[in-house]
Structure 1
Amino acid sequence: MKILITGAAGFIGMHVASLLLARGEQVVGIDNLNAYYDPSLKLARLARLQARQGFRFSMAAVEDAATLCALFDRELPQRVIHLAGQVGMRQSAADPQGSAQSNLQGFVNVLECCRLHEVSHLLYASSSSVYGANANLPFSEEQIADHPISLHAATKRANELMAHAYSHMFGLPTTGARLFTVYGPWGRPDMAMFRFMRAILERQALELYNEGRMVRDFTYVDDVADALARLLDKPATASARFDPSYPDPTESDAPYRVFNVAGGHPVPLLEVVQALEAALDRQTRHRLLPMQPGDMPATAARCTRLAEWIGPMRTTPLREGIARFVDWYLAHYAVAAAA
């Protein structure tokens, strides 16, 4: 099967592409390799993929409709995994136009290309941030997600609604994966665990927002990649239990689904700090800061529907996942420093 992955040089994109290549699929990756964070990390991920048989890469931005359509014309992918887009609550506040262009216009372009080329399944990344002001934990898909507290969250919720429109109008099977705090080797430098690691090694104080009382449903990246691959293998279908008189927010009489994708084991951020301290055999200093606008104090996922659809999600214990992240970080940046 030929699968197109947008954002293939990204954190999750590289892991998903690697998994699909390992099972013998053809993977066409696209990425614009922008400078939101150090492009050398993206290039290093990309180099790992380009060394694999069955992988081809095109440098392109999903916002560029003409280039994206030409790529679909040339490659004729059977399925698409859409992971490209501008991430980050703070970045969406700093550059709202850029976030809207990437996450909204870019997604329309992907939907149109999938429609015109009769793609058999579009799987796309949504976010736990769509739950916004909801404080009813754990989050479950049947809860209303219409109170975003950041522009980033609003764009991700908009993506889900746009996908439903295309599923309903054109019969395009679409599946949204609401991802919860993904971490692990090859992660992004703006992520909390990455920032903590760097601060610990540089013997700086760790900045802890909400005075250290944040709780997150941390999900190891290999577990996410495995779940996304299994979701890709099972295209969305219309739900026989959908009742238009009492519509379920994440099912439909169109081929449309949305699932939480998470480990389902929320932990305080301080527990992550302690695991990093143990892995590095170092003590840390903390700088307690107030809550940031647009941030959520806690996230936790109920993944019952995901388990019903594809079976139980693989879950890596937090300390094991953190140990793997630490090993990668030390090895990768030791090599980079010596280069």
Structure 2
Amino acid sequence: CPVPKVATKTLLNVILYIHVRDLINNLNNNWTNIDNTKAKIERAINISKFIEELRAHGVIIPEQEKPKSLLEFLHMYLNILQFGQINKNFPSRLINPWRLSFTFSFPYFRLQNLSSLSQIFSSSFTRTIFVRHPFERLASAYKERIATLSKDRIEPEFEYDEIRMEICYKRITSTKLRQLMLLKDSCRSIIPSFEDFVRYIILATYVPNGIARLNFHWQPYSTLCQVCKFQYNFVGKYELFDEDFPQFLKHFNITNWNIEKRNGPSGLMKWDYQKYYITLPNDLICQLIHLYNDDFRLFKYKVHDYIVNRTGLLQNCHLIKTSWKEM
């Protein structure tokens, strides 16, 4: 269960590599493990279209190197995922495979072919999760998804534009002013404060199944990845990525992976995330602690790594009553 930010920038590329590698193995040796419905779609795949999409993203693929079958294409794609190029003779720029439409075209394995789904929970299956400190993850989600407008993004993400506007409208108590803002579409360019963002999240948890319906960028791992149910036997941490990731590669027998080519590192330091919590009211911090309590407990994270100079806060959280019901 990889999750942003380490997921989209690094780990999912490796998991996609493992998936494609397993597809090749099953296409060669055990076709029954490939979903038949998906397989029919695969036969109609326009490989030339996929090649053009890769070229449009900066991957050099000469005509004489074009694959002629799905199997050849998958072998070529493995090299692109691992080395960023089809081979050493044609250097290309790194790509983000999650911006490629064909990433979602590959067939899935049929888990139903297992004698029992309980096999997934056996020691012969590796159940992997990479986690990040809940408060750093939340601050990062705010900075990258909410505090960054569409015009400043590489690609627009309309879902977060809608969230940003929803927070803005809810902060306007006057009905007339809200209607005026709506008509002028003024909220589209207003970045809500981190405090307003946190209030928006907390309020969303008050409805039935609210936590399970939170956006996956800030939904607790315990819910998003069903931590207690899956009993992950490989747990990596974003903070220890340089130590845990090589162990992950070794476990799956992946060699020559360039660990240094992590896509899009932010370059931010711990303080860049700590500062978001400096002015956050105690009642909101307490509610965040409650929301992410299982993540703190299961992955041994400490609140005081990001909440500083709040002596006695943890002891008093159960005494603090929220002074607001709605934004």
TM-score normalised per structure 1 = 0.23
User: Which protein has the larger Cα radius of gyration, Structure 1 or Structure 2?
Assistant: 2
Q: Greater strand percent: which structure?
A: 1
Q: Greater helix percent: which structure?
A: 2
TM-score normalised per structure 2 = 0.23
Q: Which has the higher contact order (CA 8 A, sep 6+)?
A: 2
